[in-house]
Structure 1
Amino acid sequence: MNKSTLSTTQNHVVWLDVVRFVAMFTVVCCHCADPFNFYPGELPANIEEIKFWGAAYGAFLRPCVPLFVMITGALLLPVRGDTSTFYKKRISRVLWPFLIWSVIYNLFPWITGLLGLQPEIILDFFPYSGEEVTRQSLSVSLSYIAEIPFNFSLLAVHMWYIYLLIGLYLYLPIFSAWVEKASNKAKLWFLVAWGATTLLPYYYEYVSPYLWGTCSWNSFGMLYYFAGFNGYLLLGHYLRKQDWSLGKTLTISIPMLIVGYAVTFTGFRHVTALPEYSDELLELFFTYNSLNVVMMTIPFFMLAKKVNVKSELVRRMLANLTVCGFGIYMVHYFFTGPGVVLMRAIGVPVCLQIPAAAVVAFAVSWLLVMLIHKLTGKNAKYITG
Structure 2
Amino acid sequence: MTTIVTKRNYGLDILRVIACYMVIQAHAGEFYYIRTDGTVSNIVDAYWVGWYNPICIISVPLFVMISGIFLFPINDVPAFFKKRFSRVLIPFVFWCIFYALYLYLRGYDSLNTTLLHIINIPINFGAQVGHLWFVYMLLGIYLFAPILSPWIQTASRKSMEFYLALWAVSLTIPYIHLVIPEIWGETFWNHTPMLYYFSGFLGYVVLAVYIKRFHMEPRRWNYVAGIALIVVGYAITTYGFLYRLPTEKVVSKLVLTWSFETINIAMMTTGAFLMAKNIKIKNPDSAIMRLVSDISAKSYGIYLAHILVLNGVHSLLDNRIASAAVKIPVMGVCALIITFIIVKILSFLPKSKWLIG
Report the TM-score when normalising by structure 2: 0.91
Following superposition, the deviation at residue 348 of structure 1 comes to: 5.9
Following superposition, the deviation at residue 349 of structure 1 comes to: 4.1
CA–CA distance in 2 between the matches of 1:309 and 1:345?
Answer: 41
* Of 38, 44, 60, the match for 2:55: 60
* Of 280, 283, 292, the match for 2:255: 283
Following superposition, the deviation at residue 321 of structure 1 comes to: 2.2
1:354 aligns with 2:328: yes
User: What is aligned with 1:16?
Assistant: 12
CA RMSD, 1 decimal = 2.2
CA–CA distance in 2 between the matches of 1:237 and 1:37?
Answer: 36
What runs of 5+ residues in structure 1 fail to find an aligned partner? 114-132
Following superposition, the deviation at residue 249 of structure 1 comes to: 2.4
1:229 aligns with 2:225: no
CA–CA distance in 2 between the matches of 1:270 and 1:148?
Answer: 37
After superposition, what is the alpha-carbon deviation per residue over 1:334-382, rounded to whole angstroms, capped at 9, x for unaligned?
A: 11232233333332643121111111111111111111111x23x0111
Match for 2:51: what amino acid?
Answer: A
* Of 240, 243, 247, the match for 1:267: 240
1:84 aligns with 2:84: no
CA–CA distance in 2 between the matches of 1:244 and 1:93?
Answer: 30
User: What is aligned with 2:315?
Assistant: 341
Moved more, 340-349 or 136-145: 340-349
CA–CA distance in 2 between the matches of 1:275 and 1:158?
Answer: 23
CA–CA distance in 2 between the matches of 1:199 and 1:360?
Answer: 36
* Length, aligned pairs only: 348
What runs of 5+ residues in structure 2 fail to find an aligned partner? none
1:190 aligns with 2:184: no
Contact 1:32 1:339 in 2 (8 A): no
User: What is aligned with 2:267?
Assistant: 295
CA–CA distance in 2 between the matches of 1:276 and 1:355?
Answer: 25
* Of 25, 31, 37, the match for 2:33: 37
1:172-211 alignment runs, 5 A limit: 172-204=145-177, 206-211=178-183
Contact 2:28 2:332 in 1 (8 A): yes
Report the TM-score when normalising by structure 1: 0.85
User: What is aligned with 2:306?
Assistant: 332
Contact 1:32 1:357 in 2 (8 A): yes
Contact 2:97 2:126 in 1 (8 A): no
Contact 2:94 2:355 in 1 (8 A): yes
Q: Give the fraction of aligned pairs with identical amino acids, expressed as a percent.
A: 30
User: What is aligned with 1:315?
Assistant: 289
How has the CA–CA distance of structure 1 residues 275 and 306 changed in structure 2, closer, same or farther, with 3 Å as cutoff?
closer
Following superposition, the deviation at residue 253 of structure 1 comes to: 1.7
1:71 aligns with 2:66: yes
Contact 2:117 2:127 in 1 (8 A): no
Secondary structure of residue in 2 paired with 1:208? coil
Moved more, 50-59 or 160-169: 50-59
1:151 aligns with 2:140: no
CA–CA distance in 2 between the matches of 1:268 and 1:105?
Answer: 30
CA–CA distance in 2 between the matches of 1:97 and 1:245?
Answer: 36
How has the CA–CA distance of structure 1 residues 91 and 184 changed in structure 2, closer, same or farther, with 3 Å as cutoff?
same
Runs of 4+ in 1 over 3 A off after TM superposition: 5-8, 243-247
Match for 2:294: what amino acid?
Answer: N
